[in-house]
Amino acid sequence: MSSFSDWKVPSAFQPRSEDYQFDLEAALFSVLSISSVVPDHAFSATTLGTERAGNAILINDTGLVLTVGYLVNEAESVWLRTGEGKVLPADIVGMDHTTGFALVQALGRLDVPAMALGDSDEIAIGDDVVLAGSGGRQRSVGAHVAARQPFAGYWEYLLDNAIFTAPSHPNWGGAALIGPSGDLVGVGSLQLEQQRGKGISENINMSIPINLLKPVMDDLLTMGQPNRPPRPWLGVYATEIENKVVLMGVADRGPARRAELRAGDVILSVAGAPVVSLAGFFKRLWGLGTAGVEAPLTILRDGRSLDVRVMSADRNRIANSPRLH
Does residue 322 surpass a pLDDT of 60?
A: no
CATH number for 236-318 (one of 2.70.70.10, 3.40.50.2300, 1.10.10.350, 2.30.42.10): it is 2.30.42.10
Q: What is the 3-state secondary structure (H, E, C) of 33-64?
A: EEEEECCCCCCCHHHHCCEEEEEEEECCCCCE
Q: How far apart are CA 58 and CA 244, in angstroms?
A: 41
Judge contact between 102 and 71, C-beta under 8 A.
Answer: yes
Predicted TM-score of the model (pTM): 0.94
According to the model, what pLDDT value does residue 194 have?
80
Mean pLDDT (whole number) for 156-184: 97
Structural domain spans, the chain:
23-114+216-223, 120-211, 236-318
Three-state secondary structure call for residue 15: coil
**Is the domain 120-211 a CATH 2.40.10.10 member?**
yes
Q: Sorting pLDDT into bands at 50, 70 and 90, what band is 324?
A: very low
According to the model, what pLDDT value does residue 59 have?
98
Does residue 1 surpass a pLDDT of 80?
A: no
According to the model, what pLDDT value does residue 197 have?
66
The reply to whether domains 23-114+216-223 and 120-211 share a CATH topology is yes
Does residue 201 surpass a pLDDT of 90?
A: no
**Domain 23-114+216-223: assigned CATH number:** 2.40.10.10
